[in-house]
Structure 1
Amino acid sequence: MKVDILAIGAHPDDIELGCGGTIAKLISEGKTVAVVDLTQGELGTRGTNFTRAEEAADASKILGISARENLKMKDGFLLNTEEYQMQIVKMIRKYQPEIIFANAIDDRHPDHAKAAKLVSDACFLSGLVKIETVSEGENQKPWRPKQVFHYIQWKNITPEFVFDISDFMEKKIEACLAYKTQFYDPNSKEPMTPIATKDFLESLTYRAQDLGRLSGVDFAEGFTTEKLLAFKNFDGIVC
């Protein structure tokens, strides 16, 4: 199943928080998006890996994602090993995306930066002819995405470009709140965490609003890029 974009996150909810609005907009424009979660988020203070799986499925329906898989790597202990690289290579070759969205290059949670490098290395390896992989009994063909973009998470990394999500901010928040155990709920009896506060929930809006202010739109999501972007024309640029 070939898709236009493959979004990869260290944990279920990374995608929704980091680039949920962008994904919603791209899908509305006819693009196909698949998601791969590297871990089950099993070390999360609130909820369980089972509730996270249910919440990820709900969020996927809200955004309109075509497919979602979980590689069940060890939460909190992501390493840039050959084993983990090859698991991601198989996903890249399976979905053959033109663009990959990956975790932030630097962040509060150590898994995020580790996942960013892990995915980046796997993207390169996936294009090597002499690396052979098999999926569902068939030999996979080499495939290397054209671009790898890293979404921004907890830390305020300066973006290298932003994507206008003005008409999809509500959809992003709805997808994030599908993770009922993880985010702000005044009636929850679960322990408090940094992402379960009211302030964190509100930050999703005001941070996107601030990027929008800087770029001339209402709301935006920011990305860094591994390769210099080249424009064929200026269509679509907000002036």
Structure 2
Amino acid sequence: MKIDILAIGAHPDDVELGCGGTIAKLISEGKTCAIIDLTKGELGTRGTEHTRKTEAENAAAILGVTARENLGFKDGFLVNSEEYQLEIVKIIRKYRPEIVLSNAIDDRHPDHAKASKLVSDACFLSGLIKIKTQLNGSDQEAWRPKHIFNYIQWKNIEPEFVIDISEHLDQKLKACAAYKTQFYNADSAEPITPIATKDFFESLTYRAQDLGRLSGVTYAEGFTSEKLIALKNFDGIVL
């Protein structure tokens, strides 16, 4: 299965929060996208891994992604191990993406930065022909994505570029709101967490609005890049 964009998150909801608008926009433009969750988010204070699974499926349907998988790594204890790297290599070789979107390079939750490095290393290793992997009994061919871009999460990391999501913010917010156990709900009796406040959910809009203000659009999502980006020309730049 060949897709254009592979979005990876340490936990179900990371992708929606960090780059849900970008995914929605790319899909509307005819690109194909799959989401990979590394863990089930089983250590989350609110909800369960089972409610999280249903919520992730609902969010994926809202965004319109081609596929969503969960690798079942251990929540809270992500390690950059050979075992985890090879599982991600298998996924990269399965979907053969041109671009990988991954967790923030530095963040409040330790799994996020760990996932960023883990995914980066796996993307490199996936391109080595002497690393042999199989999927469903068949040998996989080496594949290395052309770009790895890291979305922004809790911390206000300065982006190296932004994507205009002005027409897709509502779709992003609906996908995030699909995680009913995780975010603000005035009727919920579950413990309040930093991401379960009204202010946090509202921050998804005002962060996008602020990045839009700085870049001359209405709403935007920011990314960092592992390598210097070259433009063929100035087409596509918002002037």
- The bucket for the TM-score relative to the shorter chain is over 0.9
- Cα deviation 1:192-228 (Å, max 9, x = unaligned): 0000000000000000000000000000000000011
Q: What are the equivalent positions in structure 2 for 1:133-148 lying under 5 Å apart?
A: 133-148=133-148
Corresponding residue for residue 16 of structure 1? 16
- Cα deviation 1:44-74 (Å, max 9, x = unaligned): 0000000000000000000001000000000
User: 2:69 aligns to what SS in structure 1?
Assistant: strand
Q: Which runs of 4+ in 1 moved over 2 A?
A: none
> Percent identity at matched positions?
74
Matched, 1:55 2:55: yes
Matched, 1:45 2:12: no
Corresponding residue for residue 69 of structure 2? 69
The two structures have a TM-score, normalised by structure 2, of 1.00
Corresponding residue for residue 233 of structure 1? 233
Matched, 1:180 2:185: no
User: 2:148 aligns to what SS in structure 1?
Assistant: strand
Corresponding residue for residue 149 of structure 2? 149
Matched, 1:91 2:76: no
Corresponding residue for residue 80 of structure 1? 80
For 1:102, the aligned partner's letter is S
Corresponding residue for residue 125 of structure 1? 125
* Alpha-carbon shift at residue 233 of structure 1 (Å): 1.1
The two structures have a TM-score, normalised by structure 1, of 1.00
- Cα deviation 1:139-178 (Å, max 9, x = unaligned): 0000000000000000000000000000000000000000
Task: State the distance in 1 between where 2:2 and 2:136 align.
Answer: 15
Task: State the distance in 1 between where 2:29 and 2:188 align.
Answer: 37
User: 2:195 aligns to what SS in structure 1?
Assistant: helix
Give the superposed CA RMSD: 0.3
Unaligned runs of 5+ in 2: none
Unaligned runs of 5+ in 1: none
Task: State the distance in 1 between where 2:195 and 2:174 align.
Answer: 16
Corresponding residue for residue 104 of structure 2? 104
* Alpha-carbon shift at residue 190 of structure 1 (Å): 0.6
Corresponding residue for residue 35 of structure 1? 35
Task: State the distance in 1 between where 2:70 and 2:145 align.
Answer: 20
| Aligned pairs, number | 239
User: 1:191 aligns to what SS in structure 2?
Assistant: coil
For 2:15, the aligned partner's letter is I
Task: State the distance in 1 between where 2:233 and 2:187 align.
Answer: 51
Task: State the distance in 1 between where 2:92 and 2:114 align.
Answer: 18
